[in-house]
Amino acid sequence: MEGNAAFKFIPDQYNSYEELTAALRKSGMEKSQLMVGVDFTKSNLETGKKSFGGRSLHDVSQPSSPNPYCQVLSIIGKALWDFDDDHMIPVYGFGDASTGNAFVFSFEGDDKPSKGLVAALKRYEAIAKVVTLSGPTSFAPIVYQAIEIVRNTNEFHILLIIADGQVSPSETEATSAAIVWASQYGLSIVMVGVGDGPWDLMDRFDDELPERAFDNFQFVNFNEVFDKNPKEKAESAFATHALMEVPDQYKAIKKLGLLDENRKKPIFMKPPAPLSPPDRLAPGDPSYGLPRGWVAVYDYKKSSYFYLDLSTGSTSWTRPNEAVAGDENMPRVPVGRKSLC
């Protein structure tokens, strides 16, 4: 895609949350819809070494010390509460064993949105206890799912992506293409990095890709903002940084007519239907009906599934069932050969 000569990057320009909310209303944004994508890649086990006391970033075992995913979702959800008229939040996971780099799973059954922030947080905590972390890291599936929702509703949406690290090298091109494609819709993307980083590629998504119709991507380093601000101001400072570009993004969306119901929408290939949440599998989900302890893992190199016994680490290309789950002749392949991260 050729560069857009009219493209302009949006600068950070607000010093307080009060300034930001005033700018949001001045932009004409009377309401917005929030959707969320949560990263369940295996690197979450390691990237909290410095910033989260060595715990997995998805550790929900200590309610008095909420993990950064809970903190980010809570802060942004509260910040946008007054702009969200129905408080229904579509929340998706990506990067786990069954979704890999190709799919997302919904936090609720039948791809329903969560009924408010509290419900979304409860579903996150339940899923975090049972999900099988995997990889690689790609934002393309969640971005295309967000586009599908915007196409269907024709409402302005903010996609909050919470992730522990950068997009995998093999997924950079696909993610870049998805972000560029999303700039043809009424969609703002806020990517919040949790954990230890590094984040240089996220800065590239934020500051480059001039072929976009407008500057639709904002990256925020969660720990950096919290470390630079006193505890009593950290949450409002983070919300300000995360939503800093939304007023100008909304103005650009209106100017480009991206929410015009009569506009001719670009050709778009509908993404695969979201899978069910890992704790509420349904017929058609790749892990549905497997013996206890087994999970279907998406092999992104072969674009197909293999099956993993979580208790032994053995794998099989043949779908196991109760009759053969303990068969000594079943192939035993070290998990490491599958490059799950």
Distance CA 243, CA 262 (A): 29
- pLDDT at 326 exceeding the cut of 50: no
Quick: pLDDT tens for 208-263.
Answer: 787 999 999 999 999 999 999 888 888 999 999 899 899 999 999 999 999 999 99
Distance CA 76, CA 236 (A): 10
How many beta carbons lie within 10 A of that of residue 121, not counting itself? 19
Mean pLDDT across 309-331: 70
pLDDT band at residue 32 under the 50/70/90 scheme: confident
Distance CA 314, CA 330 (A): 9
Quick: pLDDT tens for 62-76.
Answer: 989 999 999 999 999
How many beta carbons lie within 10 A of that of residue 293, not counting itself? 12
Nearest to 241 by CA among 17, 9, 78: 17
The pLDDT assigned to 8 comes to: 65
- pLDDT at 323 exceeding the cut of 70: no
Distance CA 193, CA 221 (A): 5
Nearest to 279 by CA among 145, 136, 128: 128
- What phi-psi label fits residue 176: left (phi over 0), alpha (psi between -120 and 50 degrees) or beta? alpha
For all residues of the chain together, what is the average pLDDT? 88
CA distance between the termini of the chain: 30
The pLDDT assigned to 5 comes to: 52
Q: Are 43 and 341 in contact (CB under 8 A)?
A: yes
Distance CA 37, CA 139 (A): 9
